[in-house]
Amino acid sequence: MWAYSPVLNESEPLEKHIDELWEKLKPHKEYLLGLSKSVTMDVFLGYRSNCDHCGVEVPHTSLEMFQELKIPFGLSIIVV
Protein backbone atom coordinates (compact mmCIF):
# COMPACT_ATOMS: atom_id res chain seq x y z
CA MET A 1 0.00 0.00 0.00
CA TRP A 2 1.16 3.51 -0.81
CA ALA A 3 -0.23 6.57 0.95
CA TYR A 4 0.16 10.23 0.09
CA SER A 5 -0.37 13.06 2.54
CA PRO A 6 -1.10 16.38 0.85
CA VAL A 7 0.90 19.49 1.61
CA LEU A 8 -2.31 21.53 1.46
CA ASN A 9 -4.21 22.59 4.53
CA GLU A 10 -7.15 20.30 5.28
CA SER A 11 -9.52 23.27 4.96
CA GLU A 12 -8.69 23.76 1.26
CA PRO A 13 -11.44 22.74 -1.18
CA LEU A 14 -11.54 19.09 -2.24
CA GLU A 15 -10.71 19.90 -5.86
CA LYS A 16 -7.42 21.52 -4.80
CA HIS A 17 -6.44 18.28 -3.05
CA ILE A 18 -7.37 16.24 -6.13
CA ASP A 19 -5.44 18.59 -8.41
CA GLU A 20 -2.39 18.50 -6.12
CA LEU A 21 -2.37 14.68 -6.10
CA TRP A 22 -2.75 14.52 -9.89
CA GLU A 23 0.13 16.97 -10.31
CA LYS A 24 2.34 14.55 -8.36
CA LEU A 25 1.09 11.41 -10.15
CA LYS A 26 0.76 12.68 -13.73
CA PRO A 27 4.46 12.28 -14.63
CA HIS A 28 4.12 8.60 -13.62
CA LYS A 29 0.90 7.93 -15.54
CA GLU A 30 2.32 5.24 -17.86
CA TYR A 31 3.94 3.40 -14.97
CA LEU A 32 0.69 3.50 -13.00
CA LEU A 33 -1.33 2.25 -15.97
CA GLY A 34 1.09 -0.67 -16.32
CA LEU A 35 0.93 -1.36 -12.62
CA SER A 36 -2.87 -1.38 -12.71
CA LYS A 37 -2.74 -4.54 -14.82
CA SER A 38 -1.53 -6.53 -11.82
CA VAL A 39 -2.82 -4.57 -8.81
CA THR A 40 -5.95 -2.70 -7.84
CA MET A 41 -5.63 1.07 -7.74
CA ASP A 42 -7.85 3.09 -5.46
CA VAL A 43 -7.83 6.77 -4.62
CA PHE A 44 -9.53 7.31 -1.28
CA LEU A 45 -11.09 10.73 -0.82
CA GLY A 46 -12.78 11.82 2.36
CA TYR A 47 -14.95 14.82 3.09
CA ARG A 48 -15.89 15.76 6.65
CA SER A 49 -18.58 18.17 7.68
CA ASN A 50 -20.53 19.09 10.80
CA CYS A 51 -23.65 19.75 8.72
CA ASP A 52 -26.16 16.95 8.08
CA HIS A 53 -27.26 18.40 4.74
CA CYS A 54 -23.84 19.15 3.32
CA GLY A 55 -22.63 18.47 -0.16
CA VAL A 56 -19.58 18.76 -2.30
CA GLU A 57 -19.05 19.80 -5.89
CA VAL A 58 -16.00 18.76 -7.89
CA PRO A 59 -15.29 20.62 -11.15
CA HIS A 60 -14.97 18.39 -14.22
CA THR A 61 -11.40 19.63 -14.67
CA SER A 62 -10.44 18.03 -11.36
CA LEU A 63 -11.64 14.60 -12.52
CA GLU A 64 -8.92 14.20 -15.18
CA MET A 65 -6.85 11.92 -12.94
CA PHE A 66 -9.66 9.38 -12.65
CA GLN A 67 -10.29 9.35 -16.38
CA GLU A 68 -6.61 9.12 -17.33
CA LEU A 69 -5.85 6.34 -14.83
CA LYS A 70 -9.14 4.55 -15.58
CA ILE A 71 -10.18 4.39 -11.95
CA PRO A 72 -13.55 5.25 -10.40
CA PHE A 73 -14.19 8.45 -8.50
CA GLY A 74 -15.28 7.46 -5.01
CA LEU A 75 -15.96 9.81 -2.12
CA SER A 76 -16.52 9.02 1.54
CA ILE A 77 -18.65 11.66 3.25
CA ILE A 78 -18.46 11.72 7.03
CA VAL A 79 -20.79 13.89 9.10
CA VAL A 80 -19.32 14.61 12.53
The kind and range of the H/E element at 51 are none
What pLDDT score does 59 carry? 95
Question: pLDDT tens across 26-59, in order?
Answer: 999 999 999 989 998 888 887 777 877 777 889 9
pTM: 0.83
Q: What residue ranges in 1-80 does DSSP mark as E strands?
A: 46-49, 76-79
Kindly list the domain boundaries of the chain, sorted by start residue: 14-79
- Decide: helix, strand or coil at residue 18: helix
CA angle 76-77-78, nearest 5°?
115
Mean pLDDT value of segment 16-24: 94
